[in-house]
């Protein structure tokens, strides 16, 4: 009898640690990450400045919550006695816990980075073999988000490595959003819904609009290329488990219209919105894009359904995304170098989404149309929608039942 009871305890206890925390990231996470602009050139003053500006710029009010320090926050060696990671005392003279507390005092949340391998991508100590110890360390710092990369992982199995870290976070007892950053190489969308809250579906992004950027021994992805890679995976996304097409490059060098495409399509794809620009000195255009609450509302919609490419003609794509309360989002994306005219007759279109079991039947129901970017709301689906989409731009609409 004792053996049976003991076995039952082991099974139950094991099952307890195979489940991630409940209730995290029920909408795609929103925040800021240091890597795209600063790489390893990070500091206490930088993070405080970002936190202050997150509040002052209106980004916090728009929904941005997490400040995530990427690679380079620790020293090159672990503590020789405890084995713990050591926050770089030159970059963070008051220690990491004090910085976490500062960010929390602003009503924001804090995240850190590490790697499933023996080293991080920049050569700092990785987590391989230290999963439970590092998870306890993160819990002691009271962080809220962990981005977990995939460098220096020769011989490792991705599912096993990420599952081990997920169990370690659960065992440490502090609810922490777990971001799997293995670049889509191991198809995490097929196995990670119970491991983390978001997983990368592609290689790294670059601030370019179409194609790829040659980085020497690897290629970074431009916005349109990432969209094409991420779109077929919509069936795997939903509340608490999101496809992550990588961080935002808005404000990092593309044209304003291309930034608008980038942001709109990430919202249509229910993607995490993790800004990667220097928000301390962003332009008015960049701020307007990043804080457009109507676009963000599409991304953060509680239904949690990723949009899809409904049609493509003459380099113009038509995307739909079902929303709560019977609403819909629609985005016309012009991938071409020329303006393109649109004439969309609602009553002749059969918009049916088998994933969400939703239909947009404009012949039976009239919807009010709001332009997400211009804020115009004078038309309805009672008559065809006509417009011109500029080159490398979007027209994004929200449809609401009258």
Domain boundary among 242, 269, 299: 299
Asked if residue 132 is part of any domain, the answer here is yes
Residues 104 and 159 in one domain: yes
Tell me the CATH number at 378: 2.60.40.1180
Asked if residue 15 is part of any domain, the answer here is no
Residue 86 has pLDDT above 70, yes or no: yes
Rounded Cα distance between 75 and 90, Å, is 9
pLDDT tens for residues 63-74?
A: 999 999 999 999
Asked if residue 7 is part of any domain, the answer here is no
Average pLDDT in the chain: 95
Share of the chain above pLDDT 90, in %: 94
Q: Which long-range contacts (CB under 8 A, 24 or more apart) does 123-130 make?
A: 123/76, 124/71, 124/72, 124/74, 124/75, 124/76, 125/74, 125/76, 125/77, 125/78, 125/85, 126/151, 126/152, 127/165, 128/152, 128/153, 128/156, 128/161, 130/78, 130/83
Print the domain residue range for 280. 25-299
DSSP state of 336: S
Residue 366 has pLDDT above 90, yes or no: yes
Give the pLDDT of residue 5: 35
Domains of the chain: total: 2
160, 189 contact by CB (below 8 A): no
Residues 281 and 317 in one domain: no
Q: Which positions ≥6 away from 297 have C-beta within 8 Å?
A: 398
Residue with tokens 């804090």: 110
State both tokens at 233.
Answer: 């995976």
Residue 197 has pLDDT above 60, yes or no: yes
Give the pLDDT of residue 350: 87
Question: What is the residue-wise DSSP string for 139-191?
Answer: HHHT--EEEEE--S-TT--HHHHHHHHHHHHHHHT---EEEE-STTTT-GGGT
Question: Once rounded to an integer, what is the mean pLDDT over residues 200-228?
Answer: 96
Cα-Cα end-to-end distance for the chain? 66
* Integer angstrom CA distances of residue 301 from 59, 265, 268, 331: 18, 14, 10, 16
Residue 15 has pLDDT above 60, yes or no: no
Exactly one of 71, 88, 134, 149 is catalytic; name it.
Answer: 149
Is the C-alpha dihedral spanning 32, 33, 38, 42 positive or negative?
A: positive
Residues 283 and 321 in one domain: no
pLDDT tens for residues 24-57?
A: 999 999 999 999 999 999 999 999 999 999 999 9
Rounded Cα distance between 297 and 324, Å, is 10
Annotated catalytic, 294?
no
Residue 16 has pLDDT above 50, yes or no: no
> Facing residues of 394 across strands?
333
Asked if residue 345 is part of any domain, the answer here is yes
- pLDDT band (50, 70, 90) for residue 8: very low
Residues 233 and 275 in one domain: yes
Residues 197 and 342 in one domain: no
Residues 319 and 200 in one domain: no
State both tokens at 90.
Answer: 């030159």
Residues 65 and 107 in one domain: yes
Residue 4 has pLDDT above 60, yes or no: no
Annotated catalytic, 204?
yes
Asked if residue 283 is part of any domain, the answer here is yes
pLDDT tens for residues 123-161?
A: 999 999 999 999 999 999 999 999 999 999 999 999 999
- How many helices (H) and strands (E) the chain has is answered by 11, 20
Asked if residue 85 is part of any domain, the answer here is yes
Residue 11 has pLDDT above 60, yes or no: no
State both tokens at 172.
Answer: 């440490």
pLDDT tens for residues 291-314?
A: 999 999 999 999 999 999 999 999
Asked if residue 262 is part of any domain, the answer here is yes
Exactly one of 204, 246, 327, 353 is catalytic; name it.
Answer: 204
Residues 33 and 165 in one domain: yes
Residues 214 and 82 in one domain: yes
Share of the chain above pLDDT 70, in %: 96
Question: Once rounded to an integer, what is the mean pLDDT over residues 6-33?
Answer: 69
Question: Once rounded to an integer, what is the mean pLDDT over residues 176-192?
Answer: 98
Asked if residue 104 is part of any domain, the answer here is yes
Packed helices 44-56 and 96-105: angle between N→C axes, nearest 10 degrees:
10
Residues 352 and 248 in one domain: no
Domain boundary among 299, 328, 345: 299
Closest CA to 369 of 333, 344, 340, 392: 344
Tell me the CATH number at 125: 3.20.20.70
Give the pLDDT of residue 17: 44
DSSP state of 222: P
Give the pLDDT of residue 352: 96
Residues 313 and 283 in one domain: no
Residues 118 and 233 in one domain: yes
Domain boundary among 264, 299, 334: 299
């Amino acid at each position: 009898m004792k053996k049976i009871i003991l076995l039952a305890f082991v099974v139950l206890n094991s099952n307890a640690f195979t489940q991630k925390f409940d209730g995290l990231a029920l909408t795609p996470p929103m925040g800021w990450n240091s890597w795209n602009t600063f790489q390893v050139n990070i500091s206490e003053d930088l993070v405080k400045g970002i936190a202050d500006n997150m509040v002052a710029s209106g980004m916090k009010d728009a929904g941005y919550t997490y400040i995530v320090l990427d690679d380079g926050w620790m020293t090159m060696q672990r503590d020789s006695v405890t084995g713990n990671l050591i926050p770089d005392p030159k970059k963070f003279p008051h220690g990491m816990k004090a910085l976490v507390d500062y960010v929390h005092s602003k009503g924001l949340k804090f995240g850190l980075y590490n790697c499933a391998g023996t080293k991080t991508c920049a050569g700092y100590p990785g987590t391989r073999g230290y999963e439970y110890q590092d998870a306890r360390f993160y819990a002691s710092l009271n962080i809220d988000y962990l981005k977990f990369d995939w460098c220096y992982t020769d011989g490792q199995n991705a599912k096993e490595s990420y599952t081990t870290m997920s169990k370690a976070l659960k065992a440490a007892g502090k609810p922490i959003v777990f971001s799997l950053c293995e670049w889509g190489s191991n198809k995490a969308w097929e196995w990670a819904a119970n491991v983390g809250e978001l997983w990368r579906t592609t290689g790294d992004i670059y601030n370019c609009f179409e194609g790829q950027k040659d980085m020497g021994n690897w290629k970074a992805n431009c916005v349109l290329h990432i969209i094409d890679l991420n779109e077929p995976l919509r069936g795997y996304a939903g509340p608490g488990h999101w496809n992550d097409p990588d961080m935002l490059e808005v404000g990092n060098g593309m044209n304003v219209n291309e930034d608008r495409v980038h942001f709109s399509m990430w919202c249509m794809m229910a993607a995490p919105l993790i800004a990667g620009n220097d928000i301390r000195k962003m332009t008015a255009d960049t701020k307007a894009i990043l804080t457009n609450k109507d676009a963000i509302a599409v991304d953060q919609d509680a239904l949690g359904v990723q949009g899809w490419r409904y049609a493509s003609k003459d380099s113009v794509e038509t995307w739909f995304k079902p929303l709560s309360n019977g609403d819909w989002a629609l985005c016309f994306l012009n991938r071409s170098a020329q303006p393109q005219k649109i004439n969309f007759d609602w009553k002749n279109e059969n918009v049916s989404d088998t994933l969400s079991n939703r239909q947009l039947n404009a012949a039976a129901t009239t919807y009010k149309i709001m332009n997400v970017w211009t804020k115009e709301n004078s038309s309805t689906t009672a008559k065809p929608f006509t417009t011109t989409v500029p080159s490398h731009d979007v027209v994004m609409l929200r449809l609401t039942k009258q």
